[in-house]
Amino acid sequence: MAEVLVYVDHVDGAVRKPTLELLTLARRIGEPVAVALGNGAADTAAALAEHGAVKVLTHEASEYADYLVVPKVDALQAAVEAVSPAAVLVPSSAEGKEIAARLALRLGSGIITDAVDLEAGDEGPVATQSVFAASFTTKSRVSKGTPVITVKPNSAAVEAAPAAGAVEALSVTFSEKATGTKVTGRTPRESTGRPELTEAAIVVSGGRGVNGAENFAIIEALADSLGAAVGASRAAVDAGWYPHTNQVGQTGKSVSPQLYIASGISGAIQHRAGMQTSKTIVAINKDAEAPIFDLVDYGVVGDLFDVVPALTEEIKTR
């Protein structure tokens, strides 16, 4: 069976959920071989083996933390040359997409970004994408070189599938460009204790209807009752009510959670572009004609200042 390289996104050995989702998808098209780089790379092996990695290629070097992206591209290229995989899967984070694009260029391969599903095909893996502000779903495959595919978080369930996960050292020679852009400092974002927006299983978002920064407290309370991340429409962000890092949509982040709750959001196409692939969509809006109701699974016509706190209280009792 062909091997499929999976780029491991981890923090000091703790594997992030999107990588475990990639392992689920990788198993559909071949045998997953994980590539873990940087500090704690070897510590990822147990989690990766538990989720189906037949092999874990590791390389620890300070360059991965000290310089932007290129050392990781060098390592992935070395892994491709060593394994000749059927595909390379990378999580669709900002960094992941840059790594994937640079890798595809190096390999002379085609690339598919922001896939939301993946299946085996007669002529190689077939990726599903949601395009044109989520108006269409397309299926495509790479016809030239080793397919490089980035996959959006929450595109697949994390499934346990114990495998050997044998750790092997990857031999990497850094290119001249590897040390081209040095990281001079890192400022950790203040933690809210909530999950990362793009990785969250549940997202609760507020829009212009929330009517003020202070009122976002009711959106946050609902989010916290569900263990959810908080999102915001651009109207709410532009008004200064919530940070841009939480904006969902065409010029914000793209999310695909199991459950998306939109409160006081009209459902403009640019907002839909960032959330339409959510598995279940719920909207709370006082205007029964709001376009958001065209795409919801469940809609509540009502004042969010009544509905959201009532929902939070009900959830807390369960």
Q: Does 235 bind ligand FAD (CB under 6 A)?
A: yes
Q: Does 285 bind ligand FAD (CB under 6 A)?
A: yes
Q: How many CA atoms lie within 13 A of 42 on its CB side?
A: 7
Task: For ligand FAD, give the closer residue by CB, 4 or 248.
Answer: 248
Q: Does 304 bind ligand FAD (CB under 6 A)?
A: yes
Residue 126 φ/ψ, nearest 5 degrees:
-110, 125
**Smallest distance, Å, CB 94 to ligand FAD?**
15
Contact 260, 281 (CB under 8 A): yes
Task: For ligand FAD, give the closer residue by CB, 82 or 269.
Answer: 269
Nearest of 114, 109, 112 to residue 126 by alpha carbon: 112
**Smallest distance, Å, CB 135 to ligand FAD?**
15
Which of 14-22, 28-36, 112-120, 299-307 is the region at the interface with ligand FAD (rule: CB under 6 A)?
299-307
Alpha helix stretches (DSSP H) within the chain = 17-29, 45-50, 63-66, 70-83, 94-107, 216-226, 234-238, 269-272, 304-317
Contact 58, 174 (CB under 8 A): no
For residues 238-277, which are near ligand FAD according to CB under 6 A? Answer: 247-252, 264-266, 268, 270-271, 274
**Smallest distance, Å, CB 223 to ligand FAD?**
16
Which of 77-85, 136-144, 162-170, 300-308 is the region at the interface with ligand FAD (rule: CB under 6 A)?
300-308
Task: For ligand FAD, give the closer residue by CB, 89 or 262.
Answer: 262
Which of 43-51, 110-118, 136-144, 205-213 is the region at the interface with ligand FAD (rule: CB under 6 A)?
205-213
Strands (E), the chain: 3-7, 10-11, 14-15, 31-37, 55-59, 87-91, 111-119, 126-131, 136-140, 148-151, 166-169, 202-206, 229-232, 259-263, 280-285, 298-301
**Contact flags string 70-109 toward ligand FAD, x per CB under 6 A:** ----------------------------------------
Q: Is 244 annotated as a binding residue?
A: no
Q: Is 254 annotated as a binding residue?
A: no
Task: For ligand FAD, give the closer residue by CB, 168 or 306.
Answer: 306
**Smallest distance, Å, CB 156 to ligand FAD?**
25
The strand order across the sheet containing 229-232 reads 229-232, 202-206, 259-263, 280-285, 298-301
Candidate residues 32, 207, 257, 299; the one interacting with ligand FAD per rule CB under 6 A: 207
Q: Is 35 annotated as a binding residue?
A: no
Paired tokens of 296 = 């919801």
DSSP annotation of 196 reads P
The span from the CA of 172 to the CA of 218, in Å, is: 50
Contact 199, 153 (CB under 8 A): yes
**Smallest distance, Å, CB 205 to ligand FAD?**
8
Cα 195 to chain center, whole Å? 12
The binding site for ligand FAD (CB under 6 A) comprises: 207-209, 233-236, 247-252, 264-266, 268, 270-271, 274, 284-287, 290, 303-305
Binding-site positions for FAD: 208, 233-234, 247-251, 264-271, 285
